[in-house]
Amino acid sequence: MLELRAVTAGYDRRSAPVVRDATLTVAPGEAVGLLGPSGCGKSTLARVAALLHRPDAGTVTVDGTPVRRWRHRAPRPLRTSFGVVFQQPRLSADPRLSLADLIAEPLRATGRRDTVPARVPELASTVGLTPDLLTRRPHEVSDGQLQRACLARALVLRPRWLICDEMTAMLDASTTAALVTVVEDYRTATGAGLLAVGHDRTLLDRWCDRTVHWDTVAPSGRGTAAARPVPAP
């Protein structure tokens, strides 16, 4: 179980937090959609859930173990149990890497170089990238093709939890359907849990087991305007 309880998070302790008192759970194998207006703090909470952003208060628990370290300080097995896909692939892809190297990045970073020759073509095929695209760099492919590579990168370490932050927001309907199918096939095969952040209620309702609205996740404050500063520790 992935559990976020009373999470408060922001970017500057001197100003109001952007997320206040947010509570959200995702069970293994469950797909949860998170819906809310622009700027309310969904991406910030998604980053907390993916252990990429340390909250100012509250707890994150993964399979009963409270998370105490974040980002690169989190224990590797815990860190690599999360696969994350962001809204804008160009901001999350190193422009110097070919798509093949982009997909292989987590394997190399975790000492699994020997699996690269098998895993990269396998993942490329799963997400619908043809071999000719794998040698190109991000500026030589479309947004949809780059997002396919970013999804492959998120899956390459076989995560138990997937965090998709507006993964399809900038994609057309057919690419959206293709990427959602890849995620769902992966979840069916592995039992991974999913947190999908978005604006599109129709998509989230169709995709997820349940969709929660920001107002129910963080009822005591939405966005910086409604939030109070966190007291200094």
Ligand X SMILES: Nc1ncnc2c1ncn2[C@@H]1O[C@H](COP(=O)(O)OP(=O)(O)OP(=O)(O)O)[C@@H](O)[C@H]1O
Whether 227 and 20 have beta carbons less than 8 Å apart is answered as yes
Q: Nearer Cβ to ligand X, position 145 or 224?
A: 224
Q: How far is the CB of 18 from ligand X (least distance, A)?
A: 4
Residue nearer to ligand X on the CB measure, 20 or 42: 42
Distinct helix (H) and strand (E) counts, the chain: 11, 9
- Binding stretches for ligand X (CB under 6 A): 11, 18, 36, 38-44, 224
Whichever of 5 and 213 has its CB closer to ligand X, that residue is 213
For residue 46, the minimal CB distance to ligand X (Å) is 7
Q: How far is the CB of 154 from ligand X (least distance, A)?
A: 18
Q: Is the dihedral of CA 92, 127, 171, 195 positive or negative?
A: negative
Q: How far apart are CA 122 and CA 100, in angstroms?
A: 11
Closest to ligand X by CB, 18 vs 146, is 18
Q: Nearer Cβ to ligand X, position 18 or 194?
A: 18
DSSP 140: G
Q: Cα-flanking dihedrals φ and ψ of residue 8, to 5°?
A: -120, 130
Q: Which helix (H) or strand (E) holds 176?
A: helix 173-190
Q: Is residue 32 within 8 Å of residue 209, measured between CB atoms?
A: yes
Shortest distance, position 44 Cβ to ligand X, whole Å: 3
Minimum distance of ligand X from residue 224's CB (angstroms): 5
Do 112 and 156 contact (CB within 8 A), yes or no? no
